[in-house]
Amino acid sequence: MRLLGQFFRRIVRWTWLGILIAATFHYLTSGLSDGSRRNEPLTANPVNDTRTVSDLSQATKSKVAATATNHWSVDQIEKLQLSVTEANEIHANHLKTAGLQLAQEADWLTICRRLSLALVGNGLSLEEIRDLEQCVETDRINIHLQNLLDDSRHHHYWAERWSRYLVGTDGGQFIAYRRRRFRIWLAEAISENRPYDQIVKELITAEGLWTDRPEVNFYTATFDSNDGKADPVRLAARTARVFLGLRIDCMQCHDDFLGNVNLGDQNKRREGKQQDFHQLAAFFTGAKTNGLQGIKSGESDYEYQYLDSDKKVEVDPKVPYDEELLDDSVDPRKRLANWVTHPKNHQAARSAVSHLWALIFGKPIGESVDNLPLDSEIHPLLNYLAQDFVANNFDMRRLITVITSLKAFRVDSRADFPVTEQHESQFAVFPLIQLRPEQVAGSIIQASRIKKTDRDSSFVVQFQQVTATNEFVQRYGDRGEDEFESEHVTITQRLLMMNGKMVRESVESNPVLNTTAHLAMFAKDDAIVIDNAYLCVLNRLPSEKEKERFLERLKHSKNRGQAIEDLMWVLTNSSELTWNH
């Protein structure tokens, strides 16, 4: 009996150990295992799936198609389609006047890759591609767009992009500044589709402590340059660029001698003065630092010694144009917030659309994302979209949907006519855009996984995303707040792609079953290996010539696993991966 008892105790111990090991392995690889996800994919085995749309039941098709319209009523959809039609007509007339021809529409996979890069910062996963392939082809782009808008990856990715131009990239004073809390607050606002004008008002009129009221960090981000108080000069410069699309920084020290800045009333422009900048800054002295109570509202009390003046003078808060839109019945900061978001402040609306356009395309619609002079000629699409944005209650989700539905977003980068720089600048073709460092990193990591990498992925995958991405971006070259300025690819960047740790770990086969291991273990033949490798890395199928070349390489390889690693490395290091097109 004693031996029998010991035997059963050993069985129990080994059973529990086996359960623990299995649970641990499932947790580590949960981001790669089939099924059992909050959003159950339609495809159980994306590596070998060969089903077509005709294999799906009509109920499944209807359920999938419904995801594209679950945020809109019939009336809203009709209004949205009307906005797209009118915007396309405006763009077509603009191109006709310029003597430019519009390219043909790109294929659905190319457009979906653009959407993923714009909204979540990386390409599509094979899982997403397989799910979309099971939908009617004409519905795939819109389904993918709505899925991305609902995705937490989009909320957090855009929150980081917004944070860069709202509070910058510097750490600031740790005690009084919580950039991470500010970013999470923005992610929640984007997730809720909070109207743009409401977000702006909350930022400009923020009150309380930076810990429990994250929007207050819009002010505390400047504490390091003004003895623990909000810096009105920095806030005025950022407000002018971000919310108004005006570069008036130079007028902090002197008048605009070069005639680059014209302000004043709509029908009566004048050259910018030093007073214009400091009168805008005066609004922000209404943000009082009140010890443990944080930021509180009060009256403005701004003094400044102007150039060629021998003493400081009191400066009253005033706006640089359209002063008649000001509401004098509220405190200074509310007055400024109401003016910036006023439906008739067309310049502010143009600035908002300019930023969203740049985030979606990867380049501004004009020469610069934050330099839209009042008296300059602006692209007619920008003017129309700004009016439509205001008319539809500053709905950002709707604006994103409109912009990504335009022909300008969905045309090919190639054409059956000679493509010039003017075609790209006027969006007659989709411009070739160099990916930002975080997009390159995100695309590499996503290409190394069959399933999409998100907050439901395993701890291992999420840890790699944070640590590897930060290290890669730092070495690749973070552009900071100037992320829309195009740069040439450097030798250092090419060497990092060829020899860097993240690329090496992403393409080599490993026990956690990345894409390379999946292809080696589960793909039925070499042709499927090549197709899936191209879909994972470049989000397209190989050409016949490419496929023939790699089939020959795999066929004569003595080590098939190593040959698949080489294939993944070659595709990851291709120039195509690092460009949007």
- Joined together, the tokens standing for residue 2 give 């004693």
Contact criterion met (CB below 8 Å) for 391 and 401: no
| Neighbour count for residue 15 (Cβ, 10 Å) | 10
- Joined together, the tokens standing for residue 268 give 């009566």
CA dist 72 and 168 (Å) reads 34
Residue closest to 430 by CA, chosen among 74, 177, 88, 106:
106
Residue closest to 159 by CA, chosen among 175, 140, 180, 183:
183
Contact criterion met (CB below 8 Å) for 540 and 534: yes
**Higher per-residue confidence, 104 vs 295:** 104
Residue closest to 125 by CA, chosen among 443, 458, 576:
443
Q: How many residues would you count in the chain?
A: 581
Residue closest to 341 by CA, chosen among 238, 201, 203:
201
Contact criterion met (CB below 8 Å) for 541 and 131: no
Using a 10 angstrom Cβ sphere, with 0-12 exposed, 13-18 middle and 19 or more buried, the burial of residue 520 is: middle
| pLDDT band with cut points at 50, 70 and 90 for residue 570 | very high
Using a 10 angstrom Cβ sphere, with 0-12 exposed, 13-18 middle and 19 or more buried, the burial of residue 503 is: buried
H/E element holding 291? none
- Joined together, the tokens standing for residue 575 give 């120039």
CA dist 485 and 490 (Å) reads 15
> C-alpha dihedral over 222, 224, 228, 233, to 10 degrees?
-40
Contact criterion met (CB below 8 Å) for 415 and 431: no
Q: Check pLDDT > 80 for residue 454.
A: no
The pLDDT of 116-123, averaged and rounded, is 96
CA dist 209 and 194 (Å) reads 22
- The residues, any chain, with a CB within 8 Å of residue 378's CB and separated by 6 or more, are 350, 366, 372
Contact criterion met (CB below 8 Å) for 360 and 118: yes
Query: What pLDDT score does 269 carry?
Result: 78
Using a 10 angstrom Cβ sphere, with 0-12 exposed, 13-18 middle and 19 or more buried, the burial of residue 213 is: middle
Query: What pLDDT score does 280 carry?
Result: 93
Pairing of strands 268-271, 262-265: antiparallel
**Phi, psi at residue 265, to the nearest 5°?**
-75, 160
The Cβ-side half-sphere exposure at 86, using a 13 Å CA radius, reads: 13
Contact criterion met (CB below 8 Å) for 5 and 486: no
Percent of the chain with pLDDT over 70: 83
Contact criterion met (CB below 8 Å) for 207 and 213: yes
Q: What angle do CA 180, 186, 190 make, to 5 degrees?
A: 145
Q: Check pLDDT > 70 for residue 156.
A: yes
H/E element holding 382? helix 380-391
Determine the residue type at 89. E
Q: What is the pLDDT of residues 167-180, one digit of tens each?
A: 988 777 777 888 89
**Higher per-residue confidence, 112 vs 330:** 112
List helix spans (H) across 457-543.
Answer: 459-476, 491-499, 501-507, 515-522, 526-538
> Distance between the two ends of the chain, CA-based, in angstroms?
75
**Higher per-residue confidence, 264 vs 83:** 83
Return the DSSP state at 289: E
CA dist 472 and 14 (Å) reads 42
Strand-pair partners of 295? 208, 289
Q: What pTM, to 2 d.p., does this model score?
A: 0.87
Contact criterion met (CB below 8 Å) for 579 and 435: yes
| pLDDT band with cut points at 50, 70 and 90 for residue 50 | very low
Query: What pLDDT score does 482 carry?
Result: 64
DSSP string over 176-223: T--HHHHHHHHHHHHHTT--HHHHHHHHHT--B-TTT-GGGHHHHTTG
Name the one residue in this structure whose structure tokens are 């580590």.
28
Query: What pLDDT score does 539 carry?
Result: 97
Name the one residue in this structure whose structure tokens are 């150039």.
307
| pLDDT band with cut points at 50, 70 and 90 for residue 394 | very high
Instruction: State the sign of the Cα–Cα–Cα–Cα dihedral 547, 551, 554, 557.
Output: negative
Q: What is the pLDDT of residues 301-334, one digit of tens each?
A: 888 888 878 888 898 999 999 999 998 878 899 9
CA dist 182 and 168 (Å) reads 11
The pLDDT of 377-386, averaged and rounded, is 93
Q: What is the pLDDT of residues 503-558, one digit of tens each?
A: 888 888 876 668 888 898 888 899 999 999 999 999 999 999 999 999 999 988 88
Q: What is the pLDDT of residues 183-194, one digit of tens each?
A: 999 999 999 999
Query: What pLDDT score does 214 carry?
Result: 93
Contact criterion met (CB below 8 Å) for 112 and 133: no
**Higher per-residue confidence, 98 vs 291:** 98
Mean residue pLDDT of the chain comes to: 84
Instruction: Estimate to the nearest angstrom the gap between the alpha carbon of 581 and the chain centroid.
Output: 16
Q: What is the pLDDT of residues 18-47, one digit of tens each?
A: 665 655 444 444 333 333 333 333 345 676
H/E element holding 262? strand 262-265
Q: Check pLDDT > 70 for residue 49.
A: no
Query: What pLDDT score does 291 carry?
Result: 75
**Higher per-residue confidence, 100 vs 329:** 100
3-state SS class at 521: helix
3-state SS class at 489: coil
Query: What pLDDT score does 481 carry?
Result: 60
